[in-house]
Amino acid sequence: MAAAPASSASAAGNREAFRVAVTNTLERRLFYVPSFKIYGGVAGLYDYGPPGCAVKANVLAFWRQHFVLEEGMLEVDCPCVTPEVVLKASGHVDKFTDLMVKDEKTGTCYRADHLLKDFCKDKLEKDNTLPPEKTAEFNHVLAVLDDLSAEQLGAKIKEYGIVAPDTKNPLSDPYPFNLMFQTSIGPSGLSPGYMRPETAQGIFVNFKDLYYYNGNKLPFAAAQIGQAFRNEISPRQGLLRVREFTLAEIEHFVDPEDKSHPKFRDVSDLEFLMFPREQQLTGKSAMKLNIGQAVSEGTVNNETLGYFIGRVYLFLTQLGIDKDRLRFRQHLPNEMAHYAADCWDAEIECSFGWIECVGIADRSAYDLRAHSDKSGVALEAHEKFAEPREVEKLVITPSKKELGLAFKGNQRMVLEALEAMSETEALNMKSALESKGEVEFKVCTLGKDVTIKKSMVSINMEKKKEHQRKFTPSVIEPSFGIGRIIYCLFEHCFYQRPGKAEDEQLNVFGFPPLVAPIKCTVFPLVKIEKFEVVAKKISKALTAAGISHIIDMTGNTIGKRYARTDEIGVPLAITVDNTTSVTVRDRDSKDQIRVEVDEVASVVKEVTDGQSTWADIMWRYPAHTASAAEEEEASET
């Protein structure tokens, strides 16, 4: 009997210690803090402080550049408050739920799948006596967790004897809980609404106007950045599971008969970790795949979906996400919505495990059809033919007179139901009417079956000449959880290095200049007027160049000032130790160069804009070696 590796518990402990170091630094340096902290806070709500706001703004600016500008997308900004009818049409009112269990004595609520996940992970990480079959079983449960029904979840919770974490009381059976925040629009209370759980519906309901704005041409994409709200059952894991968060979503509208992409070749040679459903269901691991090959072999459904998977990979890795801790996981069959053609999640590994940060889905034509049916407004596109085409079309012609005589006040609802029949339904009705003379027909709006006679409707296939084809576009949707991406970025960029004192560790965020909250700092080496004058001159030049920076004239030792700015991820530090030239220090290597005062702003801009690397700059400028006194001072913290 083989036991689980003894290192699994220590690995979990190391992850916990690392997470504590990261989150303590983030909160102490005001990247983010719990909202309403002086009143005890509210679970799942956080405030971004100055450096956190700057990182978030930089991530969103790069998202706009990488997607909206690069792809010529149409950006919109829609309200957070959404009428109930919109979310009824989209399915959120009826189906936007998580499975919940309650402590049977205290009434405390928990997410059922989280309790099962925590139990399995705890066993795998801490129980060194697990037999191989149990290890395999727990790993399988984790792999198919999102696929389990309420009954299956409840059975597993009972089988494993899982109880309420806080009280050890028994738990109720799982049941669905709707995650939307309900509200009322206007003072009367007669117009129900919800805080939107996603930004996408605002784009779908505006499709007709956006299509017209785009010159009635497909494909095109619309994008939106905004707040979304989900009334999480038991928020936890900091920024990873919150009740209000920022989404950046793209809806790429495409002809369902042609999902090729003209720029697919730009990403087709990329190779990265992918986790197809076959690998998951057989207990195998993610593997490196070429995205071009994955599309050609049908692992990824189509070129447009594959193109966006590739673009998402480039976006995340350029932000600073470690490519070896990024994978694209395909949804399992029962995890996917019935209407979806294919779905992949960009998952990033952090101390909490693999976290879904971006969803990339081919949602087919479901959303536009749902809103067309509910609103009565055709959300369609059209393709004009160079020459008219002869096609055979189904023509349903209800007899208003006969329907009026038979159904009186219900005539309109029966007529609309007949006209809305699919081709299969209509042809089956035609066959039944010809053989029997009448047929039972369900009218959903009446909630009952009615008898349709042959005289009430004419159903024929007729040949017609068409000058254009009308169709409902498919939608490819990449959806980005910005808070989750930022938290994983924090972890991936965080490291510690030895300080001067024994066992002392200094915290560093190694952000790429692209996302760093502050691009550089300016320090007079000592607090004397001539150095302060030069520092102010450099600060003015940096401001004119659009470079965010801090000027610190506090008189603290240079070592303390370096350590404080390393801890918030500032890439470069300018030390004023001369009136004609200054030193520029790189955060990660701690190497320094000497640059003329009049050149320093342009050098910093080169590095922070990504035009040159620090290595490029090192070739062009003389290295600066700190004096013994500076070395001693720079190592102080």
Strand-strand pairing, 32-34 and 46-48: antiparallel
Q: Residue 334 has what pLDDT?
A: 73
CA pair distance 313, 590, nearest whole angstrom: 30
How many other CB atoms are found less than 10 A from the CB of residue 14? 12
Query: For residue range 203-241, what is the model confidence (pLDDT) as tens digits?
Result: 999 999 999 999 999 999 999 999 999 999 988 888 999
Question: Which tokens belong to 235?
Answer: 């928020």
Question: What does the DSSP assignment read for 163-189?
Answer: --TTT---BPPPEEEE-PPEEESSTTS
CA distance 159 to 167: 19
Joined together, the tokens standing for residue 178 give 């709707």
Place of tokens 């990329």: 270
Residue 171's alpha-carbon distances to 156, 157, 167, in angstroms, are: 12, 9, 10
Name the one residue in this structure whose structure tokens are 């030895």: 498
Q: How far apart are CA 107 and CA 103, in angstroms?
A: 5
Q: How many CA atoms lie within 13 A of 570 on its CB side?
A: 26
Note the CATH architecture for domain 387-470: 2-Layer Sandwich (3.30)
| Alpha-carbon span 174 to 154, nearest angstrom | 6
Q: What pLDDT is recorded for position 336?
A: 78
Please calculate the CA angle 431-433-436 and round it to the nearest 5 degrees. 105
pTM metric for this prediction: 0.84
| The CATH fold of domain 518-634 | Rossmann fold (3.40.50)
Bridge partners for 381 per DSSP? 471
CATH 3.30.930.10-classified regions of the chain: 28-96+179-380+472-508
For the chain, give every residue range classified as CATH 3.30.720.200. Answer: 387-470
Helices 600-608 and 529-544: angle between axes, nearest 10 degrees:
50
Q: What pairs with residue 592 in β-bridges? A: 585
Pick the CATH number of 28-96+179-380+472-508 from 3.40.50.150, 3.90.850.10, 1.10.101.10, 3.30.930.10: 3.30.930.10
3-state secondary structure of 362: strand
d(CA 622, CA 426): 82
Report DSSP state, residue 147: G
Tokens encoding 587: 């955060």
The CATH 3.40.50.800 domain(s) of the chain lie at: 518-634
**Which residue matches tokens 């010159």?**
215
Largest separation between any pair of C-alpha atoms in the chain: 104
* pLDDT score, position 392: 83
Angle of CA points 374, 340, 375, to nearest 5°? 10
| CB of 168 closer than 8 Å to CB of 86 | no
* Cα angle 528, 529, 532; round to 5: 90
* Single-letter amino acid, residue 279: Q
280, with CB counted inside 10 A (0-12, 13-18, 19+), is buried
Alpha-helix runs per DSSP H in 451-599? 482-493, 529-544, 558-566
Q: How does DSSP assign 289-306, residue by residue?
A: EEHHHHHHTTSSS-HHHH
Block means of pLDDT (10 residues each) for the chain, 637 residues, are 44 86 96 95 95 98 97 97 94 90 93 93 88 90 85 94 93 93 91 95 97 96 97 89 96 96 97 94 91 97 97 98 97 80 96 95 93 92 88 88 91 88 88 92 84 93 85 96 98 93 89 96 92 95 96 85 95 95 95 95 95 93 66 41
H-run or E-run covering 523 = strand 520-524
Q: Which CATH class is domain 99-173?
A: alpha beta
Give the helix ranges, DSSP H, for 169-302: 200-205, 207-213, 277-281, 291-296
The answer to whether 414 touches 403, Cβ cutoff 8 Å, is yes
